[in-house]
Every structure is written in structure tokens, then in C-alpha cells.
């Protein structure tokens, strides 16, 4: 018959196991919270860029009812400071990278929103 540990050893082992489980649980929660923050950050950035294009590009609707946004004015050095152009350039690169807009096949400065449905 195996010998039972004394009370102090049993308590120390029990607490060590509980601490390891608590650490694993805390790390799991931290990963979940971090993932939620990252998801929220992407959603906010997506909404910001869409709003930026809708507000600062020139919208025009074609015969098929598609709204095309002329993004060239957002990058016009005659209209904007260099810092604004840098921000707009980053926002537009982000929009393409996230597949929020698609450029027109003939006119690359015209962009249409990509339907996420």
C-alpha cells in the first residue's frame, strides 16, 4: 500500500496544481481578451477607412447603380498638406489590403466598396 503524504506535503502539492491550473486559465482568458481587442481594432479601422473614403473621395454612380469613389482628390498635393496625403495613402493601402474597396478595371483611381455579405 502506497504511503500517504503528510498534510503539509499534500497541501503544497494541491496548491501547486491549483496555481498551474489558474495560470493556464488566466493565460487562456488573456488570449481571448487580446483576440477580442484585435478584432475590435480591425473593425474600427475598417469603419474609419470606409468613412474616410466616403467623405473625402468624390462619389459617382454608374449606369448599373454602382457607386464609384474617385480617390485621386484625397492625394492631391494642391489640396492637402503632406501629412494628410501620407495618412490618406496609408488609409487607402489599408483599404485595398483589407479588401474593403476594389479599383475599377480601367480607371484605377475609381474604387467601389466590396460587398461583405
pLDDT at 57: 97
User: Which distant-in-sequence residues (6+ apart) come within 8 Å of 53 by Cβ?
Assistant: 69, 71, 74, 91, 92, 95, 101, 111
Grid cell digits, residue 68: 464609384
pLDDT digits (tens, 9 = 90+) for 16-66: 777 777 778 878 888 888 889 999 999 999 999 999 999 999 999 999 999
- Specify the DSSP element, H or E, that contains 102: strand 101-103
pLDDT confidence band for 5 (50 / 70 / 90)? low
pLDDT confidence band for 2 (50 / 70 / 90)? low
Q: What is the mean pLDDT of the chain?
A: 89
pLDDT at 38: 92
CB 37 within 8 A of CB 69: no
Grid cell digits, residue 61: 454612380
Amino acid at each position: 500500500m502506497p504511503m500517504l503524504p503528510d498534510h503539509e506535503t499534500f497541501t503544497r502539492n494541491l496548491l501547486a496544481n491549483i496555481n498551474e491550473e489558474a495560470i493556464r486559465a488566466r493565460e487562456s482568458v488573456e488570449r481571448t481578451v487580446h483576440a477580442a481587442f484585435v478584432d475590435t481594432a480591425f473593425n474600427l479601422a475598417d469603419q474609419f477607412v470606409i468613412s474616410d473614403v466616403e467623405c473625402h473621395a468624390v462619389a459617382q454612380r454608374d449606369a448599373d447603380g454602382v457607386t464609384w469613389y474617385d480617390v485621386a482628390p484625397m492625394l492631391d498635393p494642391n489640396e492637402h498638406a503632406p501629412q494628410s496625403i501620407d495618412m490618406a495613402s496609408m488609409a487607402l493601402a489599408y483599404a485595398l489590403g483589407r479588401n474593403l474597396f476594389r479599383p475599377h478595371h480601367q480607371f484605377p483611381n475609381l474604387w467601389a466598396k466590396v460587398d461583405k455579405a
